[in-house]
Structure 1
């Protein structure tokens, strides 16, 4: 499962590039841009090199190059043109394609060059909301359809995490200015999807609150230690895969009994599993949110 994917179907090519399979076939036949191999059942398969070329072509195409002109460019010069465009142009769609290309080729230099190009005109917060969140949403769909491997996903998400850590650290050296709440960020047991939680940690620090980041797979009984030190604690968590639909009501019951026995703590929850909860059915101390923006508006 963790092997790097090197062979792609026409549907994979469509999913990754955003170009319809029919159009890819036209480009292939009319302009001889790709040379797919055929399986024993005569199904087209494309190499990693062909996918890289397609993503490069899409960047040029969306930047005003006609496909007939792209077809005449020597293949070795196409990546050079792409890098020039990425260096000069920070448009969202171009950046997302560049990040996808970086991921497919495990090219961290392209990731950092694209990020730095964006940073010349945007704040880190704007980059995360306008570019990284749409990118991650796309990657989730690509991973689910087996278009990319876990290796690709881990590569790009860890590079994004690096940027969150760097920008959060800049804020953490500043004394909190808002004292009315303390936020404690954690993931429940068996939950490891922490990218959203890391960005929330950045946002909470940016707002001037004290944030305590506990990280992945935190047993609920260990949260009790926090309330010994602080009052009005707001616990914040993502329930992406755990607790499951069958476990989530019991989890909330245990939180109320073990952590919020004094009634002065809150639990704010985001993530896929919140679809199984209705705010009107929850205790007053528990609230669900469908986005980071919605949660931040309730601070």
Structure 2
């Protein structure tokens, strides 16, 4: 079986990995939508392999439209199966607020079993990009605002950090084994001891098809050019939820970008807080929204690979 469309009668059929590539929905989620909710009904080969037609792909795109509008996955089937002539009602508020509250409660109670369930459930039912935007990124931001000097905050932070490092690291490792895309290096800046933004960005980039080298420990900025050279990296992404020290922002990062053979990009709250500090520098500001950051990163990588020849 190949990644190209397969002919069955007159209409082409696609294997699940090709549908995943075309729609951005991973194969685990596609299977969950089929088994648990009956949202899609692919054909099967004699050996049981799923084959999807163009109608199935369009249906997946409609499902994504409803999910992006906040409709819980359990309510999508009723909406997409309405006759086309019937005006589709506005969706009710989705269950993201409820999921965020459950996740925060699990962290605050140090309930790693519940964390495991919520992590696996969210990533099996929704695209990774949507999970990050609607669940994990807002929860991390809320928790970091709450923690401050609160008693027990350090313990909560370290438990969540350890949990995400293990789960995200495992997902990134397995995705790297089957990805043929360019490799990027994701690391955290010095003041961001937890590395939540670097880990979430690594997960988002991995789900988008990149091979990811995720470094969530302390890493001297001066050694990153060596890392990009030895590892064959296409871009270097640096993340932080902090403003970072002035010497890092105004001297070390611009110097790193000047010395690096690949684009040096900044993502996370630091990119919003310090955006003006990087005007007229080679550091690429990707922003705080990870979906937009990935799109901007792709443009930065393409521009670096195909520089415009100077006018003579």
TM-score (norm 1): 0.57
Structure 1 residues 279, 161: CA separation in 2 closer, same or farther (over 3 Å shift)? Answer: same
TM-superposed CA distance for 1:211, in Å, is: 2.6
Structure 1 residues 285, 102: CA separation in 2 closer, same or farther (over 3 Å shift)? Answer: closer
Q: Which residue of the partner structure matches residue 267 of structure 1?
A: 264
Question: Which of 126, 129, 142 is equivalent to 1:138?
Answer: 142
TM-superposed CA distance for 1:242, in Å, is: 6.7
SS at match of 1:265: coil
Q: Which residue of the partner structure matches residue 154 of structure 1?
A: 158
Query: Any gaps of 5 or more consecutive residues in structure 2?
Result: 1-93, 299-312
Q: 2:250 touches 2:277 (CA, 8 Å); kept in 1? A: no
Matches within 5 A, 1:168-183: 168-176=172-180, 178-179=181-182, 182-183=183-184
Q: Which residue of the partner structure matches residue 197 of structure 1?
A: 198
TM-score (norm 2): 0.55
Instruction: Give a deviation string over 1:257-290, Cα, whole Å, max 9, x none.
Output: 5x33xxx421101233332332772324533423
Matches within 5 A, 1:219-230: 219-229=220-230
Structure 1 residues 125, 144: CA separation in 2 closer, same or farther (over 3 Å shift)? Answer: same
Question: Which of 268, 290, 295 is equivalent to 2:293?
Answer: 295
Q: Which residue of the partner structure matches residue 59 of structure 1?
A: none
Instruction: Give a deviation string over 1:31-50, Cα, whole Å, max 9, x none.
Output: xxxxxxxxxxxxxxxxxxxx
TM-superposed CA distance for 1:144, in Å, is: 2.5
| Greater C-alpha Rg | 1
The count of residues paired between Structure 1 and Structure 2 equals 203
Question: Equivalents in 2 of 1:231, 1:91: separation in Å?
Answer: 42
Question: Equivalents in 2 of 1:97, 1:243: separation in Å?
Answer: 29
RMSD: 3.0
Question: Which of 98, 117, 128 is equivalent to 1:113?
Answer: 117
Matches within 5 A, 1:205-220: 205-220=206-221
Q: 1:188 touches 1:242 (CA, 8 Å); kept in 2? A: no
Structure 1 residues 197, 170: CA separation in 2 closer, same or farther (over 3 Å shift)? Answer: same
Structure 1 residues 219, 206: CA separation in 2 closer, same or farther (over 3 Å shift)? Answer: same
Q: Which moved more, 1:197-206 or 1:187-196?
A: 187-196
